[in-house]
């Protein structure tokens, strides 16, 4: 398909790390092709977005990180050229839209390729110069937790992208503690800055991290008073730190398997400064996710497009706000036992008006591995959205292996209550009518109990 020069094109993408990366990739690729694209970031693809698009005069609309699961909804958009670049399971509906999705080629979009990876492959087909955007394909995959290989490695088509980035000299993959900036930052800082996995009692609290390191008998400073990083540790000290962090996580309620998963592949962008939140690919991803979740879409996109100087300073302030917001939610959760409900096959956080709808997905992901929740059943979170209840659900690779498909559970339970839902087997969501949370949870409980095998509860 040829794009007329100067053609105004609307790109619509999702607010999380993968959505921001995929949208930015398409924006840059279309700019380079001579078109005049604009990028709009949305919380979800719903009737409101469809109405807005239907009213616009633009002839070309590109959806990234959304659309495949909502093809019947997209049918309501009038006479336009619609392009979908997505990795969600495609809805089996006949349409004339142009769709690029790893599922259509026999790959699993939850693990093998993200929306950003899909957009990257398309961008390189459009113009080889778009190879420079390869870091965003990795950021998107890590944002969608596609590092499901042994020791936290990326798998599927993502492996090819990783190899290409290594060859281009923009990426190094190492083994280490999956803490943000483990390779370059002072120890206490890299523990405190890590948000995913969330380290209960350590994330966001440099003082507590300093105490933990001291308590392990390791001096966090060099004799000249400057901070020590991983490179300054002896092998023995490094082992002590690794064991200390794992033990600490187990003491906070994580299973030994989950705690040990903190050791694994770390992805480092060689062209970013050593102290930058963009050097460690997981931190890059979690940081732009923070921009999305706090509604700072423009900033997230600027960073993806390569803005550094001023944008980076603003970015660091947003990260601080994000850490504060999460620890606020966690203490709210800790003090509000009524907000938690644990059923035999599903558990839930009732966020109501207390949790921002853009943050509920992050909160359930973070709260999932620690008490009072268990990782032997999926977790669902509710938060009030405008006129509806937003639902975010998360599972584990193990639950998926035993038959869990949260995308289907969300779709079926939501539709029975007059709402909509969908997503991946491991991470999904829904919008349901207000006041239907208990009913929705019972439906989810029954659907999950029927599909899961080998559940010993």
In the complex, the residues that contact ligand C5P under the rule CB under 6 A are 14, 16, 18-19, 44, 65-66, 69, 88, 143-145, 361, 365, 392, 394, 420-424, 426-431
> CB of 422: closest distance to ligand C5P in angstroms?
3
* Residue 48, strand partner residues: none
Q: Which is nearer to ligand C5P, 181 or 419 (CB)?
A: 419
H-only helix segments in 95-133: 115-126
> CB of 34: closest distance to ligand C5P in angstroms?
29
> CB of 420: closest distance to ligand C5P in angstroms?
5
Q: Are 143 and 18 in contact (CB under 8 A)?
A: yes
Residue that has been written with the tokens 């962008």 in this structure = 269
CA distances from 178 to 11, 152, 271, 436 (A): 33, 9, 20, 39
Q: Which is nearer to ligand C5P, 282 or 394 (CB)?
A: 394
Task: Give φ, ψ of 199 to 5 degrees.
Answer: -105, 100
Q: Which is nearer to ligand C5P, 158 or 229 (CB)?
A: 158
> CB of 386: closest distance to ligand C5P in angstroms?
14
Q: Which is nearer to ligand C5P, 35 or 145 (CB)?
A: 145
Take residue 336 and report the two structure tokens written for it.
């509000």
CA distances from 300 to 28, 240, 261 (A): 14, 37, 28
DSSP code of residue 338: G
Q: How far is residue 291's CA from residue 298's CA, in Å, rounded to a whole number?
A: 8
> CB of 394: closest distance to ligand C5P in angstroms?
5
Residue that has been written with the tokens 């639902």 in this structure = 391
> CB of 16: closest distance to ligand C5P in angstroms?
4
> CB of 18: closest distance to ligand C5P in angstroms?
4
Q: Which is nearer to ligand C5P, 37 or 292 (CB)?
A: 292
Q: Which is nearer to ligand C5P, 148 or 279 (CB)?
A: 148
Q: Which helix (H) or strand (E) holds 263?
A: strand 263-269
Q: CA nearest 22: which of 367, 391, 300, 359?
A: 300
Q: Which is nearer to ligand C5P, 87 or 345 (CB)?
A: 87
Q: How far is residue 63's CA from residue 42's CA, in Å, rounded to a whole number?
A: 11
H-only helix segments in 336-405: 360-367, 397-401
């Amino acid at each position: 398909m040829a794009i007329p020069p100067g053609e105004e094109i609307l790109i619509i993408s999702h607010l999380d790390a993968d959505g921001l990366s995929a949208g930015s990739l398409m924006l840059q690729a279309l700019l380079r092709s001579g078109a005049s694209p604009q990028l709009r970031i949305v919380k979800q693809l719903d009737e409101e977005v469809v109405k807005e698009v239907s009213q616009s005069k633009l002839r070309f609309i590109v959806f990234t990180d959304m659309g495949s699961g909502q093809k019947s909804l997209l049918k309501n958009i009038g006479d336009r050229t619609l392009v979908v670049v997505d990795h969600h399971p495609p809805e089996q509906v006949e349409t004339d839209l142009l769709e690029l999705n790893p599922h259509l080629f026999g790959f699993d979009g939850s693990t093998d390729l993200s929306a950003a990876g899909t957009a990257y492959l398309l961008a390189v087909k459009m113009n080889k110069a778009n190879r420079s955007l390869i870091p965003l394909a990795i950021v998107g995959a890590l944002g969608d937790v596609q590092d499901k290989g042994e020791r936290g490695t990326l798998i599927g088509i993502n492996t090819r992208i990783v190899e290409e980035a290594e060859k281009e000299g923009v990426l190094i993959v190492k083994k280490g503690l999956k803490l943000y900036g483990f390779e370059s930052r002072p120890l206490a800082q890299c523990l405190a800055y890590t948000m995913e996995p969330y380290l209960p009692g350590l994330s966001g609290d440099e003082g507590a991290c300093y105490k933990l390191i001291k308590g392990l008998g390791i001096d966090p400073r060099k004799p000249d008073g400057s901070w020590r990083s991983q490179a300054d540790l002896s092998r023995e000290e490094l082992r002590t730190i690794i064991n200390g962090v794992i033990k600490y996580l187990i003491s906070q309620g994580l299973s030994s398997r989950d705690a040990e998963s903190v050791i694994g592949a770390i992805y480092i962008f060689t062209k970013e400064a050593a102290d930058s939140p963009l050097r460690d690919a997981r931190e890059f991803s979690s940081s732009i996710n923070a921009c999305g979740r706090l509604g700072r879409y423009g900033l997230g996109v600027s960073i993806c497009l390569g803005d550094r100087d001023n944008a980076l300073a603003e970015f660091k302030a947003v990260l601080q706000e994000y850490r504060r917001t999460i620890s606020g939610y966690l203490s709210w959760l800790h003090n509000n036992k009524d907000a938690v409900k644990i059923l035999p096959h599903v558990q839930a956080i009732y966020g109501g008006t207390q949790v921002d709808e853009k943050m509920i997905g992050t909160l359930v992901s973070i709260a999932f591995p620690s008490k009072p929740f268990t990782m032997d059943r999926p977790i669902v979170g509710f938060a009030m959205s405008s006129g509806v209840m937003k639902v975010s659900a998360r599972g584990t690779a193990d639950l998926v292996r035993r038959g869990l498909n949260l995308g289907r559970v969300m779709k079926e339970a939501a539709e029975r209550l007059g709402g909509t839902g969908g997503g991946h087997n491991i991470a999904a969501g829904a919008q349901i009518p207000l006041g239907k949370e208990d009913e929705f949870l019972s439906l989810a409980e029954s659907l999950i109990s029927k599909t899961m095998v080998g559940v010993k509860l």
